[in-house]
Amino acid sequence: MSPLMPTLFTRRKLITAYQNSPSISTSMTFTFVLLIFLTLPFLTLTATQASLCRTSCGNIPINYPFGIDDGCGSPYFKNLLVCSGLSKLELRTPSGRYPVKSISYSDPHILVTDPFMWNCQDGDDFRATRPFSLDTSTHLSLSSQNDYLFFNCSEQNVIIEPKPVFCERFPERCDSSCDSSSYLCRHLPECALALRTSSCCSYYPKATESLRLMLKYCASYTSVYWRNTGENQPDDQVPEYGIRVNFDIPVTTRCLQCQDTSKGGGMCGFDTSTQNFLCLCDRGNVTTYCKDHSISQHRRNSVIAGTVTGVSVVGAFGVGAGIWYLKKVKAKAPVTCGVQSNENRLF
């Protein structure tokens, strides 16, 4: 049963009981129903504020500094990850939204795929593509473990020439030409013979603008990252299609205290209106850590999601008005059998 079903079931029973009561007029019934719809959402939101932060999207764990719900994680990574209703995680960048393959927190990076990039199934048939870009103001950066392959580039506009072998280990000592003899062009991952009549060269763009210029004179491109096959052998790597995006993890004393299991084991978050740090606990939110008993308990229910604020204010008004209205009805109307039973009692 859905968590909302008890609330909806109770709401229906309340409405039915008061509609069938002979002592309450139609206008009074309408007013009471309105109060129910105002108060019950408030009570539900208050009880579930601490559980608004989802810890996964599909099979991908969502940990600090990321968050897919407003107010969760670090404000530096706000709105960068989106989890759709089908549990599909995507990374948002200025150039679009890209499916996330995995996230590593021990070696901080995100692996994404670009459906517009060339793949083995395309072969010599090149589709229209777009350059991948990142917002330089964020804590994300393109990994140097990415290699970019460009296909059918114009030799009149792009410098294409084979590079010496030592350039693969010391690229800073070589010029910025597109390497036509690169290892990846000669050994395309997963499909070595996919290209029959098209040319290939490898080039690492140092800026988004240079990537745009390359695509202006090349038919298509793709990104290949080098995946470590074992922690004990960091040099043992295999190429795979995709884009590796590195990220920084902001480490603060308050966040470490909040996550400390001996201090309550909370989750690091922030206030959506002020961007200030909040420790998200089971019983509410605090500015220090969950087991800090020196803080007044009535300040714990700080807002996580901005949408909760407006509903809470309306709900608080509805609770007060509901109590006043019930007292007034109770004083004027006689108590009949079934009206004040435990099944339809609001308070």
Integer CA distances (angstroms), 2 to 5, 6, 48, 102, in order? 5, 8, 14, 29
User: Which residue carries 């140097």 as its tokens?
Assistant: 144
Res. 347: pLDDT tops 70: no
Confidence at residue 217, expressed as pLDDT on a 0 to 100 scale: 93
Confidence at residue 165, expressed as pLDDT on a 0 to 100 scale: 77
Q: Which of these ranges, 22-36, 58-72, 75-89, 258-272, has the smallest mean pLDDT?
A: 22-36
Res. 200: pLDDT tops 90: yes
Q: How confident is the model over 4-24, as pLDDT tens digits?
A: 444 444 444 444 554 555 544
- 228: which residues sit within 8 A by CB, 6+ positions away? 107, 234, 236, 237
Q: Which of these ranges, 185-189, 222-226, 330-334, has the smallest mean pLDDT?
A: 330-334
Q: How far apart are CA 284 and CA 301, in angstroms?
A: 5
Residues in the chain: 347
Res. 278: pLDDT tops 50: yes
The residue ranges of every structural domain in the chain are 115-225, 253-286
Q: How confident is the model over 93-141, as pLDDT tens digits?
A: 999 999 999 999 999 999 999 999 999 999 999 988 889 998 878 899 9
Confidence at residue 29, expressed as pLDDT on a 0 to 100 scale: 52
Confidence at residue 84, expressed as pLDDT on a 0 to 100 scale: 87
Confidence at residue 33, expressed as pLDDT on a 0 to 100 scale: 47
> What does the block give as tokens for 312?
């809470």
Q: Which of 52, 97, 44 is nearest to 71 (CA)?
A: 52
Q: How much is the average pLDDT of 19-34?
A: 51
Confidence of residue 31 (pLDDT cuts 50, 70, 90): low
Res. 219: pLDDT tops 50: yes
Confidence at residue 257, expressed as pLDDT on a 0 to 100 scale: 93
Confidence at residue 51, expressed as pLDDT on a 0 to 100 scale: 58
> pLDDT higher for 329 or 57?
57
Q: How confident is the model over 291-345, as pLDDT tens digits?
A: 988 764 434 344 444 333 333 334 444 444 444 444 444 444 443 333 333 333 2
Confidence at residue 173, expressed as pLDDT on a 0 to 100 scale: 72
Phi, psi angle pair for 178, to nearest 5°? -90, 120
Three-state helix/strand/coil letters over the chain: CCCCHHHHHHHHHHHHHHHCCCCCCHHHHHHHHHHHHHHHHHHHHHHHHHHCCCCEECCEECCCCCCCCCCECCHHHCCCEEECCCCCEEEEECCEEEEEEEEECCCCEEEECCCCCCCCCCCCCCCCCCCCCCCCCCCEEECCCEEEEEECCCCCCCCEECCCHHHHCCHHHCCCCEECCCHHHHCCCCCCCCCCCCCEEECCCCCHHHHHHHHHHCCEEEEEEEEECCCCCCCCEEEEECEEEEECCCCCHHHHHHHCHHHCCCEEEECCCCCCEEEEECCEEECCCCCCCCCCHHHCCCCCCHHHHHHHHHHHHHHHHHHHHHHHHHHHCCCCCCCCCCCCCCC
What is the identity of the amino acid at 209? E
Q: Which residues pair with 57 in a beta bridge?
A: 60
Q: How much is the average pLDDT of 189-197?
A: 91
> pLDDT higher for 205 or 27?
205
* Mean per-residue pLDDT over the chain, rounded: 76
Confidence of residue 153 (pLDDT cuts 50, 70, 90): very high
Confidence at residue 28, expressed as pLDDT on a 0 to 100 scale: 53
